[in-house]
């Protein structure tokens, strides 16, 4: 898939913290679909909520689909202002300067994030039911599960659908930072990987992402 990328200069806009190709960014959001959507209400006050998203592509455009409860602050805000930002993140961790070859530097934080700006549009009842089916099927990952969508009583689904509304965001700009110590020397980079591999699950995740890029960075 090919998508139009417009970079907005509000994150770490440094070339060594960028992906090599757009597909890597799309893959990231497909793997980390529980994201924060933010907007502003009619009083220019910020609103935000966290949701699981479906990632869709149509005619070369990228769409983010989800649903929210009706008559909440964020629902009313999105009705008033369709401009939104969706933030996708991964596990992250502290990086100690004691792991550097030159330890007289600041410690830092390694993380990966994608910011998707776009225009939100609310969808109809049929789209909502299809979305509920697709979301449940995707995350339940077991058609025989008693929690699968097709096992739910129709009366329950009808009652639920009255309280929620589906929407999609047409992405107009994608920005990302994959900050994984790419600006460090080879020895420091390896030291960081080794230290993180001995840590918690967040630290091990970052170590794995760094390891994927190590050969390309230093050969």
Tens-binned pLDDT, residue by residue, of the chain (219 aa) = 444 444 444 456 788 999 988 899 999 999 999 999 999 999 999 999 999 999 999 999 999 999 999 999 999 999 999 999 999 999 999 999 999 999 999 999 999 999 999 999 999 999 999 999 999 999 988 878 888 888 888 898 889 899 999 999 999 999 999 999 999 999 999 999 999 999 999 999 999 999 999 999 998
Has residue 79 been placed in a domain?
Answer: yes
Cα 2–chain centre separation: 18
**Phi and psi at residue 3, to the nearest 5°:** -130, 150
Q: Are 116 and 85 in contact (CB under 8 A)?
A: yes
| CATH at residue 172 | 2.30.110.10
CB 216 within 8 A of CB 182: no
Biggest CA-to-CA distance, the chain: 65
**pLDDT attached to residue 151:** 83
Residue range of the domain that includes 70: 15-92+108-182
Nearest of 94, 91, 98 to residue 188 by alpha carbon: 98
Would the pTM of this model clear 0.85, i.e. be above it? yes
Predicted pLDDT at 147: 82
DSSP states along 121-132: EE--HHHHHHHH
* Per-residue pLDDT at 42: 94
In this predicted structure, what is the pLDDT of residue 189? 98
Secondary structure tally for the chain: helices H, strands E: 6, 8
Q: Is residue 123 part of a domain?
A: yes
Does residue 32 form part of some domain? yes
Tokens representing residue 151 in the block = 């096992």
Residues 154 and 150: their CA atoms lie apart, in Å, by: 9
Does residue 87 belong to any structural domain of this protein?
A: yes
Q: How many domains does the chain have?
A: 1
In a 3-state reduction of DSSP, which class is residue 98? helix
Give the CB-side neighbour count of residue 136, counting CA atoms within 13 A.
17
């Amino acid at each position: 898939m090919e998508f139009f990328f417009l970079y907005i200069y509000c994150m770490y806009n440094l070339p060594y913290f960028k992906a090599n190709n757009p597909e890597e960014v799309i893959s990231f959001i497909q793997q980390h679909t529980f994201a924060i959507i933010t907007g502003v209400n009619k009083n220019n006050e910020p609103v935000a909520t966290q949701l699981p998203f479906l990632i869709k592509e149509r005619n070369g455009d990228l769409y983010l689909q989800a649903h929210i409860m009706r008559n909440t602050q964020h629902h009313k805000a999105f009705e008033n202002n369709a401009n939104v930002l969706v933030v996708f993140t991964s596990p992250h961790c502290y990086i100690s300067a004691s792991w550097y070859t030159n330890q007289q530097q600041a410690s830092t934080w390694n993380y990966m994030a994608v910011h998707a700006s776009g225009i939100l549009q609310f969808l109809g009842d049929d789209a909502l039911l299809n979305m509920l089916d697709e979301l449940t099927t995707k995350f339940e990952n077991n058609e025989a599960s008693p929690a699968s969508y097709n096992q739910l009583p129709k009366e329950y689904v009808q009652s639920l659908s009255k309280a929620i509304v589906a929407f999609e965001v047409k992405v107009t700009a994608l920005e990302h930072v994959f900050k994984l110590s790419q600006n460090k020397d080879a020895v420091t980079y390896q030291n960081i990987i080794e230290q993180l591999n001995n840590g918690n699950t967040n630290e091990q995740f970052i170590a794995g992402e760094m390891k994927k890029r190590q050969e390309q960075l230093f050969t």
